[in-house]
Amino acid sequence: MGKFVLRRLGVMLLTAIALTFVVFYLTNLPPNLEKLARTEGSVRMTEEAVQDWIEQNGHSGSVIGRYGQWLGVVPGWTYTDEKGDTRGRCFAIGEDAANAPRYCGLLQGDWGYSTFFKKPVVDSLGEKLAATGWLMLAVMLVMVPTSLFLGVLSGMREGSATDRTLSTFSIASTATPEYVSGVVLVALFATAATGISPLLAEYGLIEPKKTLFLASATSAMDDITFWNFALPVMTIALYGIGYIARMTRASMTEVMTQQYIRTARLKGVPFRTVVMKHALRNALIAPFTVIMLQFPWLLNGVVIVESLFNYKGFGWTLVQAASNNDIPLLLACSCVAVVVVLLTQLISDIGYVFLNPRIRLA
């Protein structure tokens, strides 16, 4: 077991390094750096000025060397101009270069300075991650119980009308990407022009010109309410519900054909008791893995939903970082994403072994 985890951790580290290098390489391609120079410097810079800017700000030299600087295994760059002023990676302009540390990268805990937020990456990303954390938590609280409930309900009598209805619903929900369900939900619940809000206003259940839910989640950054948070959470959850429900259904139908279920039924145990006591626990092992592996998908959903509902969390930050070519921020974002993906894979593997005693890891 220990050896398995260690090996997996080793592969994880290798994957993380390879992935961050790919991101680093792609963001540091010459055209991207030129774009960065023009946004940071001025739009009307000449070709030569752009090249000078790139050189003076430590973006020249080999990609591997610069990646090493970001990691903190290669000394940070310094540049001394004609006037004798020195600037470098590890100290601000005006500070003494002699006192600054030689290495400043990931290993030293320095994530760099975000050119988009104009503050250190750690500070800006921290609060955004907290915001997304709340969103994820709410999604999980809605998605997991709903999908397990639906999956068990449709899996306990395979082929029944309930099963077919719920399966169709599951397929429909997996066929609806977030940007579609978000648009449909907003049109249904959050516009004063269409959907059910005008109807409710007519009946006097809500104030006129108000909507049942809010189509923007910006206010949820400070204060989460049902009114402003329901739609983003629903939008992300809906896509996952169908998938987890289908996996739960598959697992449940398999359990229901087992010998011990038949034995229990023939002993005269009521159907409900068979489902609750005998089948349920065995049927929930497989969905556990699926739920864990759903996290990377949630990450995708988060990016779309946060852009759609203007909720300034991790996904929104990723979009801003990518469209503004904010290299340190984008690298930090991809680190977070990669760690989330790899960690959930590891947890799902280990958790599966704990839950299912029939599997042993070499």
Size of the site for another protein (CB under 8 A): 61
State the DSSP string of 207-221. Answer: -TT--SS-S--GGGG
The residue within the footprint of another protein, chosen from 299, 305, 327, 332 (CB under 8 A), is: 299
Give the binding range for another protein (CB under 8 A) out of 27-35, 121-129, 252-260, 279-287: 27-35
**CB 103 to another protein: min, Å:** 27
Closest CB to another protein among residues 243, 288: 243
Closest CB to another protein among residues 157, 312: 157
Task: Note whether 218 and 311 are within 8 A (CB).
Answer: yes
When asked if residue 49 is in the footprint of another protein (CB under 8 A), the reply is: no
The residue within the footprint of another protein, chosen from 8, 38, 157, 265 (CB under 8 A), is: 157
Give the binding range for another protein (CB under 8 A) out of 57-65, 94-102, 200-208, 270-278: 270-278
Separation between Cα atoms, residue 25 and residue 30, nearest integer Å: 10
Task: Note whether 72 and 104 are within 8 A (CB).
Answer: yes
Q: Under 8 Å CB-to-CB from 162, ≥6 apart: which residues?
A: 153, 154
**Tokens 């938590």 sit at which residue?**
137
Cross-strand bridge partners of residue 120: 113
When asked if residue 220 is in the footprint of another protein (CB under 8 A), the reply is: no
Residues 117-136 that bind another protein (CB under 8 A): none
The residue within the footprint of another protein, chosen from 45, 171, 200, 224 (CB under 8 A), is: 171
When asked if residue 272 is in the footprint of another protein (CB under 8 A), the reply is: yes
Q: What would you report as the CA-atom Rg of the chain, rounded to the nearest whole angstrom?
A: 26
State the DSSP string of 290-303. Answer: HHHHHHHHHHHHHH
When asked if residue 162 is in the footprint of another protein (CB under 8 A), the reply is: yes
When asked if residue 327 is in the footprint of another protein (CB under 8 A), the reply is: no
Task: Note whether 68 and 21 are within 8 A (CB).
Answer: no
**Tokens 């990669």 sit at which residue?**
338
When asked if residue 268 is in the footprint of another protein (CB under 8 A), the reply is: no
Tokens coding 182:
């978000």
The residue within the footprint of another protein, chosen from 71, 200, 250, 319 (CB under 8 A), is: 319
CA atoms within 13 A on the CB side of 183: 5
The residue within the footprint of another protein, chosen from 8, 15, 106, 108 (CB under 8 A), is: 15
Task: Note whether 5 and 350 are within 8 A (CB).
Answer: yes
Tokens coding 200:
């409710």
Separation between Cα atoms, residue 279 and residue 222, nearest integer Å: 43
Q: In Å, how far are 59, 190, 198, 240, 283 from 231, measured between CA atoms? A: 43, 9, 18, 15, 31
Give the binding range for another protein (CB under 8 A) out of 56-64, 73-81, 173-181, 248-256: 173-181
Give the binding range for another protein (CB under 8 A) out of 45-53, 94-102, 265-273, 348-356: 265-273
Closest CB to another protein among residues 271, 354: 271
Closest CB to another protein among residues 291, 304: 304
One-letter amino acid for residue 268 of the chain: G
Contact residues: another protein, CB under 8 A: 11, 14-15, 18-19, 22-23, 26-27, 29-32, 35, 153, 157, 160-162, 165, 168, 171-172, 174-177, 179-180, 183-184, 186-187, 190-195, 215, 270-272, 296, 299-300, 303-304, 307-308, 318-319, 322-323, 330, 333-334, 337-338, 341-342
